[in-house]
Amino acid sequence: MRGIDLGGTKVAIEVPGHLDWRWPDTSYDAFAVAPHGAEVHVGVRVGAPPALPRGGFLYETDSHRFEVVECPGGWGVTVHGASGRERVAIFDEGFSNGEVTLTPSAAAAGIAPLAHPLDELVALHRVVRAGGIVVRGRVAERAGRAIVFLGAPASVPSGEPGWRSAGLQRLAGDRIVVRPIGGEVRAIAAPWNGDGLATGSRPVVEALHVVHPSHAVVAERPDRDAAITDLLAHAVAPIHDDRCADRLFDVAAELVERIPVLRVGLPEERRTLGLGWARGAFGERAPASVAR
């Protein structure tokens, strides 16, 4: 039995003794945990994948194509790699129990059962059910407090000296887990966040900053409905699951009641935020307009 923490969701994986086990890559090693007390249990077998109903939702990433289809009592996922079908997973409705079938060729190639996209798919469903959300953006932290920046990756802090000298550390990029844990809303590290990730870091989210192109550096506080729309516009949505997608709207509404949302306009030539903004963003009075 193996255990992994996926964005605050503990997953236990029952691995057959004859399968040469490995995580998808070395970044997952830091997220390995003891499997006891897991909220998700996944069995693994090698053989001919089960047949699934047709007519599901087809997704594509840089490396994989996968289809998610509703089955009696749950969900089926077929994952295709460069050489064709490699895995079929069947989960219950809440993605709390499932089984992954590896084709013999995929097992021989050492493909991990929960490698992308299955790891993120499981985490997405569990995070939304727990009152959280997965968003596209960046996270910057100082002393256990964080700001989540939503918007184009090039437009948010990524190591400018001013941020470093302010004691801020880039935590993660792209798909960020934001969820309530222990009475606080936290940004949660996950294996797929890439370089600069502080493994195990769970800073409290102080604010959500929505970054967009502008003629000048400006900031404004949107009203509640606009803040919900901004948050959902940057969320990873499980469009194959109507119930989970509906829950996502409620989650966004709950989060904007707990976390301030700020719209930040940046000119195209200003691809990073300076030290003055960093200070204002973390509790000191943020001006309506900031000049470099």
- Containing structural domain, residue 217: 133-281
User: Which pLDDT score is estimated for 165?
Assistant: 36
The answer to whether residues 196 and 124 belong to one domain is no
On whether residue 290 sits in a domain, the answer given is: no
The answer to whether residues 125 and 196 belong to one domain is no
pTM of the shown model: 0.81
User: Which pLDDT score is estimated for 198?
Assistant: 57
User: Which pLDDT score is estimated for 101?
Assistant: 96
Domain edge (last residue) among 85, 114, 129: 129
The answer to whether residues 233 and 274 belong to one domain is yes
The answer to whether residues 21 and 137 belong to one domain is no
Domain edge (last residue) among 114, 129, 144: 129
Q: Are 92 and 126 in contact (CB under 8 A)?
A: no
b/e code 236-264 from CB counts within 10 Å (16+ = b): bebebbeebeebbeebbebbbeebebbbb
On whether residue 289 sits in a domain, the answer given is: no
Tokens at 268, concatenated: 């195209």
Beta bridge partners of 261: 208
Q: What is the CATH number of the domain that holds 256?
A: 3.90.228.20
- pLDDT per residue rounded down to tens, the chain (292 residues): 899 999 899 999 998 888 877 788 777 888 889 999 999 999 999 999 998 988 888 888 777 789 999 998 899 999 998 878 899 999 999 999 999 999 999 988 888 999 888 999 999 999 999 999 999 888 887 778 888 888 754 444 444 433 333 444 444 457 889 999 988 999 987 887 654 445 567 888 998 988 887 777 788 899 999 999 999 999 988 888 888 889 999 999 999 999 999 988 877 655 555 434 444 444 443 333 332 2
Amino acid 150 reads L
The answer to whether residues 241 and 152 belong to one domain is yes
The answer to whether residues 47 and 119 belong to one domain is yes
The answer to whether residues 6 and 116 belong to one domain is yes
User: Which pLDDT score is estimated for 200?
Assistant: 66
| Tally of domains in the chain | 2
The answer to whether residues 112 and 232 belong to one domain is no
Question: What is the bridge-based pairing of β-strands 261-266 and 218-220?
Answer: antiparallel
User: Which pLDDT score is estimated for 152?
Assistant: 53
User: Which pLDDT score is estimated for 143?
Assistant: 78
Q: CA 123 to CA 140: how far, in whole Å?
A: 22
The answer to whether residues 171 and 255 belong to one domain is yes
The answer to whether residues 23 and 73 belong to one domain is yes
Domain edge (last residue) among 95, 129, 163: 129
The answer to whether residues 83 and 157 belong to one domain is no
Amino acid 158 reads S
b/e code 22-59 from CB counts within 10 Å (16+ = b): ebbeebbeebeeebeebebbbbbbbeebeebeeebeeb
The answer to whether residues 253 and 176 belong to one domain is yes
